[in-house]
Structure 1
């Protein structure tokens, strides 16, 4: 696949998660931990709700407002960490941060749609948009 076709595919994946977010909507049960974070430089904000049982993320949900990068990243992240141990979720977050810094990542963890965001590394002003949900997840699992 040519580089241009790959960029187009990645844009389509990002827009699909933006227009059809997965795991959007916070449950009012009060179970788990809720983390609120924002990016004051661009106005993105997220509320992330995590449920962790016996060291495994059993549910991840979000609500918020922001650009297509931040909201699609939140959608992708919630999908990716469900069913993962806290250790694997934190490892994924570290790998994602490396990817945002333009580093090559090599992992045995399935990153799924997250790889579509690798082009963000070319736009330093957008990296905080992409990492907002991940930073919220790190904060949340560390509270467990």
Structure 2
């Protein structure tokens, strides 16, 4: 099995069996974004306590890249400080634009499967939609503190 095949399987697994799909009942920061280019719509919710993302969920509709990325993102940021999550957003954005990421500094795990998106510039917006929602929500939360 090639690395591309493995990455494709990881993406399809997150798309078909998304992690953290749903709503947070109360006390959540909610950000709704869409990508009019391809019709992706995402609503990201996070519960932030004491500067830490305690819970992250999403609902949405769209392509496999968009929804798999949202699933991976919610898994990756749970338990992180808002500051660390925002750093991860930056690293993810760099990765999908083709830059090398130091796995020692930022262990990406499943997220690494999305690095192939860099070969398809039109899909970068799909991959980063949920991450932009996370970034916006985290910054809004920090501004309120």
TM-score over 0.5 for the pair: yes
* Counterpart position of 1:131: 128
RMSD after superposition:
1.0
| Larger mean Cα displacement after TM superposition, 59-68 or 100-109 | 100-109
Taking structure 1 as the reference length, the TM-score comes to 0.94
Unmatched 5+ stretches in structure 1? none
| Aligned partner of 1:105 among 84, 92, 101 | 101
Deviation at 1:25, TM superposition (A): 0.5
Name the CA distance, whole Å, in 2 between partners of 1:71 and 1:125: 16
Count of matched residue pairs: 140
* Counterpart position of 1:34: 30
Name the CA distance, whole Å, in 2 between partners of 1:100 and 1:109: 14
1:102-130 deviation per Cα after TM superposition (whole angstroms, max 9, x unaligned): 01111523211000000000000000000
What is the DSSP-based 3-state SS (H/G/I as helix, E as strand, rest coil) of the residue aligned with 2:71? helix
1:3-59 deviation per Cα after TM superposition (whole angstroms, max 9, x unaligned): x610000000000000000000113x2312110000011000001101111111000
* Counterpart position of 1:88: 84
**Poorly superposed stretches of 4+, deviation over 2 Å:** none
Taking structure 2 as the reference length, the TM-score comes to 0.94
| Larger mean Cα displacement after TM superposition, 74-83 or 107-116 | 107-116
